[in-house]
Amino acid sequence: MKAMVLERVGSPLKYIDVKRPEPGPGQLLIKVEACGVCRTDLHVIDGELAHPKLPLIPGHEIVGRVNAVGDRVSKFKVGDLVGVPWLARTCGKCKYCMSGRENLCDNALFTGYSVDGGYAEYTVSYEDYTFKLPHGYALERAAPLLCAGLIGYRSLSMAGNANRIGLYGFGAAAHIITQVCRFQDRQVYAFTKKGDVEKQEFARRLGALWAGDADQSPPVELDAAIIFAPVGDLVLSGLKAVSKGGTVVCAGIYMSDIPSFPYDILWWERQIRSVANLTRRDGEEFMKLAAAFPIKTQVTTFALKDANKALSMLRKGAIKGAAVLVP
């Protein structure tokens, strides 16, 4: 089968022939129909996330059809449409798994990082960590739900019952979560790179009440801020923008260093939280939500062999919405 393979950290992916995987016990062989291109893929390829499996097939926003099943598979059958997320498997035995916090598992495997992912014609997944997809979504438009949507949803959950929410970095996750916020009658204030008028207008079209530069102050005090961009300076911007008791949620798996800051912008019980991975419960809840109303993902599609081009455009911030590979 054809795949885009990372052979060395910091180098471009190679479009090569590799052996098609076979499903083991409890696994599914999936014919990949679409795979989202996530900023986490960039962090893996660029070496900001240490010690990936090498050689590696990246990709963890996978939509495909079950092509074959291994022993002891009972939830899915050949032909089923499924989605595969970042969380590939957990141990089920550590203190985190035993306390309902499998996203913190000491021995977790991650799709497109510690096991091969979806930048390929076929991939395998563990049945218990594979999701049924909501009906009504074109395959390429469903792909961003598997990480941008799921991590965005977990980040929004950490914001609690916040009504006025600031979203810093208006990429794939923010464009999905803006729609979720509007469905839940929350107010969205969007922050982009300085002068990115196109993305600010995009945010307003999706329902943001206000959109501006990341260094601007919003027109109202926020209840919470979610930082999607991997820029540590934005934590300070978020703290300055939220009201007393407000929460700043750092949604990315990687972020540049957070500068020192005066205690007074943290005081009044403001708090900073980070998001780590996801749980299967997050996935189940979010897929039900995605079935309740149509999330209109905006995607730019690329052929599998053009993954390096998609990654380069993502690195430059030139993707509006999400990039998706279509084998």
Q: Are residues 106 and 200 in the same domain?
A: no
**165-196 burial, b for 16+ CB within 10 Å, e for fewer?**
bbbbbbbbbbbbbbbbbbeeebbbbbbbeeeb
Whether 195 and 118 map to the same domain: the answer is no
Look at residue 167 in the predicted model and tell me its pLDDT.
Answer: 98
Cβ proximity of 176 and 148 under 8 Å: yes
d(CA 156, CA 165): 9
d(CA 213, CA 191): 5
Q: Mark whether 247 and 119 lie in a shared domain.
A: no
Residues 137 and 184 in one domain: no
CA 251, distance to chain mean position in Å, is 9
Q: Which pLDDT does position 276 carry in this prediction?
A: 96
Is the domain of 103 the same as that of 116? yes
Provide the domain count of the chain. 2
The one-letter code for the residue type at 260 is S
Q: What is the pTM of this model?
A: 0.93
Same domain, 143 and 158: no
Claim to verify: residue 296 and residue 189 sit in the same structural domain: no
- Structure confidence at residue 288 as a pLDDT band (50, 70, 90): very high
- Give the distance between the most distant pair of CA atoms in the chain: 58
Same domain, 17 and 139: yes
- Residues 275, 65: Cα–Cα separation, whole Å: 30
- Which pLDDT score, from 0 to 100, does residue 253 have? 94
Residue 113's domain comprises 2-147+277-326
**Domain identity same for 12 and 62:** yes
CA nearest to 298, candidates 168, 152, 170, 118: 170
Domain boundary among 274, 290, 313: 274
45 HSE (CA, 13 A, CB side) = 23
Residue 12 shares a structural domain with residue 119: yes
The tens digit of pLDDT for each residue in 177-220 reads 999 999 999 999 999 999 999 999 999 999 999 999 999 999 99
Instruction: Report residue 58's pLDDT band, with 50, 70 and 90 as the boundaries.
Output: very high
pLDDT tens column, 66-123: 999 999 999 999 999 999 999 999 999 999 999 999 999 999 999 999 999 999 999 9
Q: How far apart are CA 221 and CA 13, in angstroms?
A: 44
Instruction: Measure the CA dihedral 86/273/221/266, to 10°.
Output: -160
% of the chain residues with pLDDT over 90 = 99
What is the distance between the alpha carbons of residues 55 and 292, in angstroms, rounded to a whole number? 40
Share the mean pLDDT of the chain. 97
Give the tens place of pLDDT for each residue, 21-51. Answer: 999 999 999 999 999 999 999 999 999 999 9
